[in-house]
A and B are shown apart, each in its own frame.
Chain A
Amino acid sequence: MSEENQAAAPQAEKPPYFSTFQLILLALMSALVVVAKIALRLPLQLPGHSGIFWMAVIIVGTGIVPKRGAASLIGLTSGILAGFLGLGDFGILNTFLSYAIIGIATELALLLLGSPEIIPAAMIAASLGHLAKFLVKWVFGIITGAPIGFVTAGLAISAVSYVIWGALGGLLGALTLKALRRAGFFAYLAEKK
């Protein structure tokens, strides 16, 4: 073997950032986000109430794949899935960005707040992630010249509702992570790496 090949060999063996198993888990979480939106419905006429499901899924995803980029990857993948499935009333770009921003904003929030297993941190991170989705819809409205809210309090109620449902999703996600840890799921994951 030449010297060049010997030098190149260690580079080729560098493990990928996400293992195949982790990517499968993240893809599963992305699919769950979309399925939660389609299949799990609460008979509540409150804006953003489905956030309780998908924010929980994203928080669980970042807990079981504790690497930077995990939440963003879930958001981007679920955005692509939701876009192709034609979810949302405002077109594919709006749908894609709405889902993608959830993951990206949750990721950024967790950089500040730390582990998603800490309940307050998970709740605030999920609130910020879910609020970012609301912001995408709101900014899209401003850019496209949408009329201002018909009901004065509508925007405030909607924004606060997104925060609350996001926080509840974060709580559900953090509790799920704690239950998974008690059940020994993380020891199982460590073996799979």
Chain B
Amino acid sequence: MSQKSRIILGIVIVIVILGIVLGVDQIQRRRLAAQIPELVPGSIPIYVDGILTAGFIPADLDELPDASFVDQEEGKTQEGWLLRDVLLLYLDSRNLEDSQITVSSSSREKSITLTWAQIENEANRVMFDLSGRGTLKLVSDGVEGLAVRDEWVQEVDKIEISQ
């Protein structure tokens, strides 16, 4: 086989792998859409006192201001959107006062419960950072229980609010 053919074959392999990844992702999205018709596939459901109230959808990100901070552990910039702004898109702040907000990831089996006061305080930088594979990770700049990498909640798939 000539060098040119080998290089073309290499490029084809890269394209095929990309195609497989995106194809499987689309199948997953369709399957999820069939299971939960109320939610846009990939959206994050927001439950208030156990009742599905809204689904945080990607298009909402365009409306939100960006937020960032440099994490002290690795010096990386965490960039995304404040959880406060996400919640205020759907809920009135008066309804959130004195409430407990639990953000969880079923795949990572992790969750964190925070008060609205902690989330509302902009200095805490309780925010979602977009991971490399397009999922959301809840991070913060020093909030107790969410201060270091091990405590961050990766692959968030549910937000629950109890009042």
- State the main secondary structure of chain B at its contact with A: mixed
Q: What is the interface of chain B, defined by CB distance below 8 A to chain A? A: 3, 6-7, 9-11, 13-14, 17-18, 21-22, 24-25, 28-29, 32, 41-44, 58, 61, 75-77, 79, 105-108, 130-137, 149, 152, 154-157
| B133 interface neighbour in A120, A127, A152, A158, Cβ under 8 Å | A158
When chains A and B are docked, how far (Å) is the Cα of A109 from the Cα of B22?
22
Instruction: Pick the contact of A113: B10, B25, B105, B155 (CB < 8 A).
Output: B10
Interface residues of A in 113-172 (CB under 8 A from B): 113-114, 118, 120-121, 124-125, 127-128, 131, 134-135, 137-138, 141-142, 144-160, 163
CB of A47 closer than 8 Å to a CB of B? yes
Name B156's closest neighbour in chain A (CB-CB). Answer: A147
Q: Which residues in A have some Cβ–Cβ distance to B below 8 Å?
A: 41, 43, 45, 47-48, 89-90, 109, 112-114, 118, 120-121, 124-125, 127-128, 131, 134-135, 137-138, 141-142, 144-160, 163
B133 lies within 8 A of A149 (CB): yes
Minimum CB–CB distance for A124 against chain B, Å: 4
Partner among A114, A125, A159, A160 whose Cβ is within 8 Å of the Cβ of B3: A114
Cross-interface CB contact of B6 among A114, A128, A131, A134, cutoff 8 Å: A114
- CB-based contact B77/A43 at 8 Å: yes
Interfacial chain A residues near B14, Cβ < 8 Å:
124, 127-128, 131, 163
Alpha-carbon distance A147/B10, docked complex (angstroms):
31
Name the B residues within 8 Å of A109 (CB-CB).
10, 13
